[in-house]
A and B are shown apart, each in its own frame.
Chain A
Amino acid sequence: MQRIGVFICHCGTNIAGTVDVKAVAEALGHEAGVVFSTEYQYMCSESGQQLMRKAIREHKLTGVVVCSCSPRMHEATFRKAASLEGINPYMVEIANIREHVSWIHKDMKEATEKAIILGRAAIAKVHLNQPLQAGESPVTKRALVIGGGIAGIQTALDIAEAGFEVDIVEKSPTIGGKMAQLDKTFPTLDCAACILTPKMVDAGQNEKIKIFAYSEVEAVKGYVGNFNVSIRRKARYVDETKCTGCGLCTEKCPQKKVPNEFNMGMNNRHAIYIPFAQAVPKVATIDADYCMMLKTGKCGICSKVCGAGAIDYKQQDEVIERQYGAIVAATGFNPIDAKAYNEYGYATCPDVVTSLELERLMNAAGPTNGTLLRPSDNEHPHTVVFVQCVGSRCTETDERGKPYCSKICCMYTAKHAMLIREKYPDTDVYVFYIDVRTPGKNFDEFYRRAVEQYGVHYIKGMVGKVTQNGKQLRVQASDLLAGEQLHIDADLVVLATAIEPDKTARSIATMLTASMDTNDFFTEAHPKLRPVESPTAGIFLSGVCQGPKDIPETVSQASACAAKVIGVLAKDKLTCNPCVAQSDEMLCNGCSSCEKVCPYGAISYSDKEFRGPNRTTLIRRVASVNPAVCQGCGACTVACPSGAMDLKGFSNKQIMAEVDAICQ
């Protein structure tokens, strides 16, 4: 028989305001096996924990029930406190009477009754709890970073700095990501390439960092400390080890009508190409969709001109396997497709562009060599209208948009407006905004500078319709403060389109068994206290894949993420979750049902000798669980027809005891 102590937390008035904590303590004190029951203002506080520890000592408790907030919040706290008094941490159960009771019920009688029932269920479970010992598993001292934008690069550099190996897997031919496409960065207006490319070079030259560009993660197996990852290295048709990046092939290639994705399709590149001058690795890639040699077998010019003999038309995709201790998702973002918003004319008017297209139109390495010219006729625009919140802050009824604020648009729009006014003072710039959101260091000052120093016209209101009006664009908008409807003849309209997670993020999350929110952003383990970890052990989050962020924030988060990864890699052994499945060999009939449902391959079979009747021996095939691999989902326990498989910490008997207590 257990000797159970029950501790009811007031959580200030969070619980005590709705639940009669004294009545709960009194009622649970009468439960069988309960030898001590009390309530306290803040159980999680130092003094609350001391109170629990004292009770464990004085009453020789063998099990503890805490009625408090969600176990997701403080289960670890109370387990640790109990273990300091020599109780196995898995002898502690939490009854969640805050999130599941006091915060949602208003009637005190009703809430108190429910709290007592939840307390009884926890007590019933503790009666059946067994002390559990966590096993250990070794750690592969190498990290994988998926995505080679500024987030992935920074995370990789910081991990390498600590002395650990890192691989970056990037799906495009070069690392650099979206930041490489930007012209200047707010709020300091330094050029993106000037601050990014040195980091790209660092990553490329660091002997601890291995870059797999033009590669994709194909499968992930294993668990924290021991991931086994298959990486598909897509055929570049160029031998990376031989190519010197001289670029001769890219000049001589006769197929020059390929939309250049680096310049948002606003000019063309060749079928063999290096995305941009500072690419890392600086290696040419053949675009198989356009290469005449690959399509028809007729051409071969690049091979002829290549002095290094790097061209290999027969190259095939290659799948390699690598082992890692931790994995970082840094999959980044894309702007949404503005075509859906044709009330702004994006699909039909060439002079309506997105902000990322404008970055390229203003960049010295862009299609216009840095002179701002409008796409339709290469004329200099004299009136530019910016539309903010295109596709951001929509309700779910608007399938075209996103419910969240994309966070970066207010600032980059202020930047664009300011840069245009600085370079071309003869240009009128209008910004239509709903709110101007500038929470960040020196951000509001920056926005005010755009208005006060550069004379950008900020108008509170939204654009309703953009139509082609001869050579110009007719912008119909509201000025809410003046109560007017404006009709502006503009030469260029720039849409601050919402950003969304990269389309590959969901399939990667599935491979990593990491959770995502409804917008396909990765979910963090705790929104405030564990912002760079996924709830899945060993998976970490860097950059916009977790939520919209600007560059300073992305870099901070990337470094924080690296620190967490280093924390894993620095350990020689990791403690495993002891709540794993175990098979009762006496009951197992070797049917393989459990093995088939196990997503981790944690179950194996072996022939074992058993004592049969009349001193005979029987050889039987029985299942056994590898506790280091098992993640404790319990799928096998239900699949097992003979009831041999059970889950420690969530055993059939324990859950049934809870059911009984609740249905009493």
Chain B
Amino acid sequence: MKFSYYPGCTLKTKGKDLDRYGRLSAEALGFTLEELPDWQCCGAVYPMAKDEIATKLSAVRALVSARDAGEELVTLCSACHNVIKQTNHDMATDADIALRVNNYLGLETPYNGETTVLHYLEVLRDRVGFDKIKAAVKNPLTGRKIAAYYGCLLLRPGKVMQFDDPENPTILENFIRAIGAEPVIWGMRNECCGGYVAAENKAQAEKRSSIVMEDAKKNGADTVITACPLCLYNLAKNGGSDLPVVYFTELLAEALGVK
């Protein structure tokens, strides 16, 4: 199994662990992530306005590269995933946006949302299968109580992301079971941590992230996992909690014995 891979800017710097453990685990599980050539930063936030074209171009370029390589496009960072998947949806469903983007890019073959965008977790669930992961686990994380923090960007808008039930997701919980730990079901797992305002309004970010962290703790978690470098930063930095927040790929690598 080979996929085109879009790491995103943060995974090359502050979020290296997310990327590194993701690649190591992929190797252990027998799929290949081939980094796209010349990818550009996706912009980190999906531009919702219908008249925003320039801010969508880098995402479309990544999508076009994957199409031209004839591969599905895998992302690991929640924010990149959200931006690229939503932009892809626009290209497939909004004729006006697609026309203007295509005019701008002047591609040989216009792009109309043909690429399949997968999050790394979807690869684990739908391409590899949690059963196979369970079988590949060398160091099961038995006894660990792990709270999966989905945040916003993997799940919403549910109709576009098509990732899981946005109100009662199960993918990360099943992932946690596969690596031998016990998932904690908690109310704030799909509520916003306020990451996007962590620079502009630290107080607001602190308030939101402490609500999230408190709830995880109250429900008996010993670790919080996430797929988003921004959530990880915000929860760890501003959440005011002693609970560790780690990338899900780190635990995967640990369980697979490749950490």
Contact = CB atoms under 8 A, between A and B. Distances in A.
Q: Do chains A and B touch in the complex (CB under 8 A)?
A: yes
Interface of A: 339-343, 345, 347-348, 397, 465-470, 474
Given A341-B167, A474-B187, 12 more contacts: A340-B165, A340-B167, A342-B165, A345-B187, A347-B168, A348-B168, A466-B187, A467-B186, A467-B215, A468-B219, A469-B187, A469-B215
A394 to B, nearest CB: 13
Contacts of A343: 167
Contacts of B36: none
A396 to B, nearest CB: 12
A465 B191 contact: yes
B187 A467 contact: yes
25 contacts: A340-B165, A340-B167, A341-B167, A342-B165, A342-B167, A342-B168, A343-B167, A345-B187, A347-B167, A347-B168, A348-B168, A348-B185, A348-B187, A397-B159, A465-B187, A466-B187, A467-B186, A467-B187, A467-B215, A468-B187, A468-B219, A469-B187, A469-B218, A470-B218, A474-B187
Contacts of B123: none
The B interface is mostly helix, strand or loop, or mixed, namely loop
Contacts of A347: 167-168
Interface residues of B, number: 12
B89 to A, nearest CB: 14
A63 to B, nearest CB: 51
The A interface is mostly helix, strand or loop, or mixed, namely mixed
Interface in B156-170: 159, 165, 167-168
Contact of A468 (B159, B165, B168, B186): B186
A397 B159 CA distance: 9
Interface string B213-240: 0010011000000000000000000000
B188 interface: yes
Of all A-B residue pairs in the complex, the 10 with the closest CB atoms, nearest first, are A467-B187, A342-B167, A342-B168, A347-B168, A343-B167, A468-B187, A348-B185, A348-B168, A467-B188, A470-B218
Contacts of B165: 340, 342
Contacts of B188: 467
A469 B219 CA distance: 9
A73 to B, nearest CB: 41
Contacts of B191: 465
A458 to B, nearest CB: 26
A470 B215 CA distance: 9
A466 to B, nearest CB: 8
B168 A339 contact: yes
- Which of A339, A348, A470, A474 is packed against the most chain B CB atoms within 10 Å? A348
Contacts of B185: 348
Contacts of B215: 467, 469
A467 B167 CA distance: 11
B213 to A, nearest CB: 14
A551 B159 CA distance: 37
Contacts of B186: 467-468
Contacts of A474: 187
B159 to A, nearest CB: 8
A465 B191 CA distance: 9
Contacts of A340: 165, 167
A397 B168 CA distance: 19
A241 to B, nearest CB: 48
Nearest to A468: B187
A439 B195 CA distance: 47
Nearest to A400: B167
A530 to B, nearest CB: 39
Nearest to A343: B167
Contacts of A345: 187
Nearest to A470: B218
A598 to B, nearest CB: 43
B204 to A, nearest CB: 14
A467 B212 CA distance: 12
Interface in B4-36: none
A482 B52 CA distance: 36
B185 to A, nearest CB: 6
Nearest to A347: B168
A345 B188 CA distance: 11
A470 B187 CA distance: 11
Contacts of B187: 345, 348, 465-469, 474
A474 B187 CA distance: 9
A328 B50 CA distance: 51
Nearest to B159: A397
A339 B167 CA distance: 9
A347 B218 CA distance: 20
B39 to A, nearest CB: 33
A339 B170 CA distance: 13
B190 to A, nearest CB: 9
B143 to A, nearest CB: 23
Nearest to A473: B187
A342 B170 CA distance: 12
A570 B172 CA distance: 65
